Chains A and B, each alone.
Chain A
């Protein structure tokens, strides 16, 4: 009399065609993957892939003829309210951004070109990613008092939450450069210093 686990094993081996020392484990793995994918078993006709082939051709053709028709109609000023697919030439032609979208930071300047920042470190304090590092120093003008000797912002760490802009009492940091595509070849070049942040 075979026990139930052996029975089950043989049944699965037949079903999945799995053999060898870890067959049961492999079968269990495959079975789980199968269940998780939530797919039904393919029929013989479906296994030939011929219906899928025609479904694909049909879908592509549908889009092609749809766009083809409506682009020609748009040329004659007809059916303008129906949208047809277009290609954006990003990054050559950037997409328009919403007015409030948060993009790469910049440090605003006073009239004389020095940074408006007074190194109060509110942004450094509030930053949840700890990507801002300010080194404060005494300003030669006693009415300004404090200024940032260095302002380092690590865009590799930044989460673009915009808290720094919100907390700034001097409107010295803004996220309105419209630059979003900050890709670099090294982590080090993702670190922006005061000069880089001020030249936009």
Chain B
């Protein structure tokens, strides 16, 4: 293991490590455009030059392997002069249209210019203009060849990660430009990632284009609820300027680094699924056609359950939970319907048609918390079909559905029959779907971006989601609603917050033992 010194700090790293990797381990920031940890090294941007003792010229940190006794300087005058010169070259043909560029604010050209540039332009010639400013590359990405600095990160991404080979650099010298191969279109499920890795504003997201400036955005760490992979994401939102995007709060989702789950990437299916956070939401409790208050809605459910409990006919309650709920929500469901109201039929597995999957991130199971639901509810056989059949025959009095679109799953006719036979058909969910119009009582619940909790992904990794903002309208978190209901039923299950539920859960369920929010942190923990 060679030992080297970078800026006076010593570190021992395995042989074959490059200087930039060693510096990253030490927390020393070396500027970079073409180097990306998850992509092969290209070494074309030259901004990562460092001064290595006993070497005549500065070396690129991304491709120089470390050697025993190496002494590296990243802040010497020589290095700073080199960076300045490299930046000047990179900016020779850059259009400097930062005011209209979506990348402005998170652009590496801007950042490094402020750190190392700040020179007066010495360019007498006219900048090279490309024919077209905005080129559509496919359904999700726009290209601006003038802004491109030809770092080839996107080329390497499509060559090595997706292996779809759409991008290439064509022509030579100052004519060289990034483009798609003839006849190709950037239309794979991971195309949004090229926007994330582009260090400048050459590749921009069509969905986010001109929506808002990036410095308006607030960021909340979360987990993508799109499928059971549970990719780590940041929810980027803005509430201060509601005139943008018709009062929508969430502007975009970005992948967050987690080497054990999604690395730097996320798929387009998850990336563009965020509009459901703001659109088509259930805002107030509704009984048939009347908007009602929370007290009335909770009292209504309690009134339906009370006589069944008194008559000891709790098997007349059917609960269809969902793997879209957080572990905390499911734990409160377990406490209320499995432990307190013992005998109620409960299930979360639905006869769903599995979605499209690929061998990278997207999984066929589109529920973010199937593993968690299995661990918490501890169900042996699925009773969903049985519950539906019983409801159709009128043997179920109270049907409590959590976010499951029964119309899509079982057909219109069945749900119509259920609505006629069941005394109280409750739908608790965040978004309006076909089932809502058949349900007697609609209860608004919060979406994942509005609640704290955990999801358990397909690797059985428990990961935190965090609430970015308060629920829309009068919606409440699922466990809060159930907690209210339990109090009305005189069997209170009361928690202060989801952290407390998790604490209780880790004490009750063995597979969650030894876990806490602090231990889970941002990287997650595997179930036992």
Contacts and interface: CB of A to CB of B under 8 A. Distances in A.
B134 A145 contact: yes
Contact of A125 (B100, B209, B210, B215): B215
Interface in A105-155: 118-122, 124-125, 130, 133, 135-138, 142-143, 145-146, 152
A130 B99 CA distance: 19
Given A118-B100, A133-B241, A138 B210 contact: yes
B133 A142 contact: yes
Nearest to A168: B99
B165 interface: no
Interface in B197-215: 209-213, 215
Interface of A: 118-122, 124-125, 130, 133, 135-138, 142-143, 145-146, 152, 169-170
Interface in B157-179: none
A133 B215 CA distance: 15
A21 to B, nearest CB: 47
B99 A145 contact: no
A138 B244 contact: no
A191 to B, nearest CB: 11
Given A125-B215, A142-B132, A142-B134, A136 B243 contact: no
Nearest to A137: B210
A162 to B, nearest CB: 19
Contacts of A152: 243
Q: Which 8 A-B residue pairings sit nearest by Cβ, starting from the closest?
A: A120-B99, A136-B210, A133-B243, A142-B133, A146-B100, A169-B99, A118-B100, A142-B134
Contacts of A118: 99-100
Contacts of B213: 121, 125
A146 B210 contact: yes
Contacts, number: 37
5 contacts: A118-B99, A118-B100, A135-B243, A136-B210, A142-B134
A43 B243 CA distance: 65
Interface string B85-102: 000000000000101100
Contacts of B216: 125
A119 B134 CA distance: 16
A133 B238 CA distance: 14
A136 to B, nearest CB: 4
Given A118-B100, A135-B243, 8 more contacts: A119-B210, A120-B99, A120-B100, A121-B212, A138-B210, A142-B132, A142-B134, A145-B134
A114 to B, nearest CB: 15
A111 to B, nearest CB: 19
Nearest to B99: A120
A148 B212 CA distance: 12
A164 to B, nearest CB: 13
Contacts of A145: 97, 100, 133-134
Contacts of B215: 125
Contacts of A130: 240
Given A142-B132, A142-B133, A143-B133, A122 B99 contact: yes
Contacts of B100: 118-120, 145-146
A137 B100 CA distance: 11
A138 B209 CA distance: 8
Contacts of B132: 142
A125 B244 CA distance: 13
Interface string B461-502: 000000000000000000000000000000000000000000
Nearest to B216: A125
Nearest to B133: A142
A125 B212 CA distance: 11
A121 B213 CA distance: 7
Contacts of A135: 243-244
A173 to B, nearest CB: 13
A87 to B, nearest CB: 46
Contacts of B241: 124, 133
A172 to B, nearest CB: 10
A161 B211 CA distance: 27
Nearest to B134: A142
A11 B133 CA distance: 88
Contacts of A137: 210
B241 to A, nearest CB: 7
Contacts of B243: 133, 135, 152
B131 to A, nearest CB: 9
Contacts of A169: 99
Determine which residue in B100, B212, B213, B243 has the highest number of CB atoms from chain A within 10 A of its CB, and name it.
Answer: B100
Contacts of B210: 119, 136-138, 146
B201 to A, nearest CB: 11
Contacts of B240: 130
B238 to A, nearest CB: 12
Contacts of A170: 99
Interface in B209-250: 209-213, 215-216, 240-241, 243-244
A145 B147 CA distance: 13
A141 to B, nearest CB: 9
Determine which residue in A118, A143, A145 has the highest number of CB atoms from chain B within 10 A of its CB, and name it.
Answer: A145
B312 to A, nearest CB: 61
A81 B213 CA distance: 58
A64 to B, nearest CB: 57
A119 B104 CA distance: 13
A159 to B, nearest CB: 18
A130 B238 CA distance: 15
A122 B240 CA distance: 16
Contacts of A142: 132-134
A135 B243 CA distance: 7
A142 B146 CA distance: 12
A71 B21 CA distance: 87
Contacts of B212: 121
A133 B247 CA distance: 13
